[in-house]
Structure 1
Amino acid sequence: MVAGAHRAKRPARTSVWLEGKPRVRGRRHERPEQPPAAAGDPTALDRDRITEVSVRLLDAEGPEKFSMRRLASELGVTAMSLYWYVDTKDDLLELSLDHVFGEATVPEPEPVPEPVGATDEDWPGQLRALAASYRSVFVDHPWASPLIGKYLNIGPCATLFSNAVRSVVRRMGLPPRVQRGAISAVFQFVYGFGTIEGHYVQRCADAGLSQDEYYRLAMGTIDEQPGLRAAFASTGEPIEPRGASTVQEMRERDFEIALDLLVAGIEALRVRGAAATP
């Protein structure tokens, strides 16, 4: 009972980006008076380099093998020396998540059309570019998608991207009350699409196969199982990659069609709202 009550009083972790954030599980680490230097280079170790190496390890080995000890070994320092720069492994994961958001292409901010609610005719192309960049984050870094929601994701790169999305949505000509729904429709779709794609790419890499080889292997196995083959046939899903020559071509087509439908839906909503306005 005492242990349970003690756990209940532990402060929730907030974010590495917030000053004075509570420490996870109350752990405290004694920091040296001066930051440690990487082996052979007294100026090489800083939080940016630690984050870059963390991302590289996460890409290569996944989050399951990622640890402070493994990172320290890669950097050529002791594990305890990392605590001069970060408090916990969670801090490193949050820093790494924001780092990969920095790879997304963000357009230069543009003014909202006047009067407020007017439509910028370029918004579909801008939205598509942001959606493609968002997708690439999860395809290139499959470990990143499970961290969305686990952390606040309020770092500078993620905030820059979020602000760009909101800027484009404000130029769609939608009423303010439906703008958040438009963001959810597009970017929750992209999150799901990119997450599944990224995990598939990782699975193929782990198997030592190309995406097309893995697809043919999987579909061939399904074709050999009468029950599975019947289930796929009942949904109208052909065994071949749905008329495309490669898995990547199939995926690009599906992504573009889905975005077309979402853009058309947003446009229809905008027109409907404009028609209802006296």
Structure 2
Amino acid sequence: MSVWFDDGRAAGAGRGRRGQSGTAPGLDRERITAATVRLLDAEGPAKFSMRRLAADLGVTAMSLYWYVDSKDDLLELASDAVMGEVELPEAPPPGGDWQSRIRDLAAGYRALLIRHPWLSPLVGRFLNVGPNWSAFALCVQRIIRSTGLAPEHQTGALAAVFQFVYGFGTIEANFLKRCAESGLTQDQFFSYAMGAISREPELTPVVDASREMVEARGGQTVQEMRDRDFAFALDVLIAGIEARRRDSLPDPR
């Protein structure tokens, strides 16, 4: 079910399934996890394997099974490890500045998804109950509670903000990966794609309908335009939370 629920293995204890001879000098759970993250960042999940990891560590593939049961264990450990990169703000007191906390946490989560594009497909694959994922979830819950929303609306607000960030960051990471694979910058790729689209007559209504919005958005580069969109979308969500919070307050009359 989860590497974190299997007889204390998340603490790095050897299971002895293959005997003490299966271990390798200097090998431990932390080193294995760090190497897993490094390989996933460099090569992506498609090329990742126990054998590839063992070669990177200079050990036999069999020795890895002293610490983990499967490739899925490694992916789950790597997912939790990188979540530790997100700086978690303290929850404000009731009525405090929860808006800036949400913005900071959203920005950190977005940056993480871009920095580690292999992470987003794993988010729904595992239970995400490791120490870093749990700390992130607790931080989010405390900030959402501090908004003053009615309890029955808090999970919806949480989903609205952080599923938006997940989707935005995932698409952004995929676009950056596509640019890197093509050998083009974001701006070069965008210019090439828009040129190709504009030459297709059946797509003319789409281009015409979006032209005014794109021009009004401003920004000189793809990154600037994307950052403006992210900031405005987040402002809209925060304004919606604030409006619902005020709606739930008792009538002062």
TM-score (norm 2): 0.90
Q: Which amino acid is 1:210 matched to? A: T
Q: How does 1:219-234 map to 2 (within 5 A)?
A: 219-234=194-209
Cα separation, 2, equivalents of 1:179 and 1:252: 26
Q: Is the 8 A contact 1:241 1:250 kept in 2?
A: no
Cα separation, 2, equivalents of 1:15 and 1:249: 40
Can you give the 5+ residue segments of structure 1 that lack an aligned partner in the other structure?
Answer: 1-13, 22-27, 114-118
Q: How does 1:1-278 map to 2 (within 5 A)?
A: 14-20=1-7, 30-34=17-21, 36-37=23-24, 42-43=25-26, 45-108=27-90, 112-113=93-94, 119-120=95-96, 122-236=97-211, 242-276=217-251
Change (3 A) 1:133 1:277: farther
What is the CA-CA distance between 1:30 and the residue it aligns to?
Answer: 4.2
What is the CA-CA distance between 1:276 and the residue it aligns to?
Answer: 4.9
RMSD, matched Cα = 2.2
The one-character-per-residue Cα deviations of 1:28-59 (angstroms, maximum 9, x if unpaired) are 9942315533xxxx32x211111111111111
The one-character-per-residue Cα deviations of 1:192-238 (angstroms, maximum 9, x if unpaired) are 00010011111111112111111111111112222223322234467
What is the CA-CA distance between 1:105 and the residue it aligns to?
Answer: 0.9
TM-score (norm 1): 0.83
SS in 2 for 1:232: helix
Aligned residues: 247
Cα separation, 1, equivalents of 2:82 and 2:224: 25
Cα separation, 1, equivalents of 2:59 and 2:238: 50
Cα separation, 1, equivalents of 2:170 and 2:120: 6
What is the CA-CA distance between 1:240 and the residue it aligns to?
Answer: 6.9
What is the CA-CA distance between 1:90 and the residue it aligns to?
Answer: 0.3
Cα separation, 2, equivalents of 1:20 and 1:257: 46
Can you give the 5+ residue segments of structure 2 that lack an aligned partner in the other structure?
Answer: 9-14
Q: Which amino acid is 1:92 matched to? A: L
Q: Is the 8 A contact 2:33 2:77 kept in 1?
A: yes
Cα separation, 1, equivalents of 2:190 and 2:71: 36
Q: Which amino acid is 1:186 matched to? A: V
Q: Is the 8 A contact 1:29 1:87 kept in 2?
A: no
Q: Is the 8 A contact 1:55 1:96 kept in 2?
A: yes
Change (3 A) 1:144 1:277: farther
Give % identity.
54
**Greater helix proportion:** 2
Change (3 A) 1:230 1:102: same
The one-character-per-residue Cα deviations of 1:129-162 (angstroms, maximum 9, x if unpaired) are 0111111121111111111111001110111111
